[in-house]
Amino acid sequence: MDQTVAIITPAWNAQATIVSTVGSALAQTHAAWELWLVADDGFDYETFLAGAGIRDSRIRFLSSGGAGRGASNTRNVALEQIAAPYAAILDADDRLKPRKLELAVGALAEHGIVSTALDVMTEDFTHLRHVGAGPDRVLTAGTHKWVSLSMDSMIVWDTRRADGRYDPTMSNMTDLEFLLQLYRTVPASMHLGTPLHDYIKRSSSMSNGKNVAAGMIASKTEILRRLETGYYGLPAAEVDGAAAFLRISLDAEARYEAALAAKPGLLFEDHIEPMLTAARQDLP
């Protein structure tokens, strides 16, 4: 039985991190993978990696068809071509823990989507916090965000059961929008509560720059609109759960600048988590 995982990695000015990122794929205990490295900057990553001693026939080198087309367009280039039964997202500055694919593929035997807890780090791989850590559990579109409260593209899914494309019209939150597309045909997912993915938190998102905040608010508002107008075709209970999260998240965005000023370096995840906890306590 074919258990190949197509790992999709968009790369834009990724020379400082790509060796570590690709190295994390090479270190996987599950060897049946192919890495689709899609350059969005015109750079020759194949020669660059060869210079670092990395040559592997499982690595496929592609171009986005331009420069600076964005992660969504770049990921879609690979999504249009992969034929593997499973797919995974790995950004060019992140890393997979060695057993991520092994454990995800095991869970995919029964579930069409697998998410994992994250090890959130600074750009020099200093640990900041975990997201979504805890017991393994089955989640749905309406409950997913209440457990895995950020960084939703760090998933592995069965391409035969769930299909989607990243929305290049959205500046932020494309990971959640993509995941909601997958939930159209896979009503429940498995969340592995062990941190299996090193996610790099960029300094721009940690400082709540105006462009970042505005993009987040606009994208969350659009996803909320799509949910409430039936765009994803989800059951009402799932829409209600996802929409409730987004309303709290939008409230958190409005309060974040003041909270950050009061506590410099405050992560958005640490800011929103108490709000989510309070909302859960208010549920019947």
pLDDT value, residue 216? 93
CB-CB contact of 199 with 94 (8 Å): yes
- Spell out the residues 6+ positions from residue 71 whose beta carbon is closer than 8 angstroms to its own: 10, 12, 40, 91, 166, 174
Residue bearing the bigger pLDDT, 48 or 203? 48
| Ordered alpha helix ranges (H), 14-136 | 18-26, 45-51, 71-79, 100-107
pLDDT value, residue 153? 76
- Is the per-residue pLDDT at 1 higher than 90? no
pLDDT value, residue 27? 98
- Is the per-residue pLDDT at 204 higher than 60? no
pLDDT value, residue 121? 95
What share of the chain has pLDDT > 70, as a percent?
96
Nearest to 283 by CA among 143, 144, 140: 143
Q: What mean pLDDT do residues 169-177 have?
A: 95
Would you kindly state where each structural domain of the chain is located, as residue ranges? 1-93, 206-282
Sign of the Cα torsion 99, 102, 105, 110 reads negative
- Is the per-residue pLDDT at 173 higher than 70? yes
Please, which pLDDT band fits residue 283 given cuts at 50, 70 and 90?
A: low
- Is the per-residue pLDDT at 193 higher than 80? yes
Q: Give domain 1-93's CATH architecture.
A: Alpha-Beta Complex (3.90)
Please, which pLDDT band fits residue 280 given cuts at 50, 70 and 90?
A: confident
H or E element, residue 282: helix 268-282
DSSP state letter for 119: E
pLDDT value, residue 34? 98
Please, which pLDDT band fits residue 31 given cuts at 50, 70 and 90?
A: very high
Average pLDDT score, the chain: 94
Please, which pLDDT band fits residue 208 given cuts at 50, 70 and 90?
A: low
pLDDT value, residue 284? 45
Encoded amino acid at 106, one letter: G
pTM here is 0.94
Tokens at 75, concatenated: 């990921």
DSSP state letter for 230: T
Question: For 77-119, what is each residue's pLDDT tens digit?
Answer: 999 999 999 999 999 999 999 999 999 999 999 999 999 999 9
Please, which pLDDT band fits residue 282 given cuts at 50, 70 and 90?
A: low
How many angstroms separate the CA atoms of 165 and 177, rounded?
9
Question: For 209-227, what is each residue's pLDDT tens digit?
Answer: 556 789 999 999 999 999 9
Nearest to 243 by CA among 166, 180, 172: 180
Question: Whose structure tokens read 């299909």?
Answer: 163
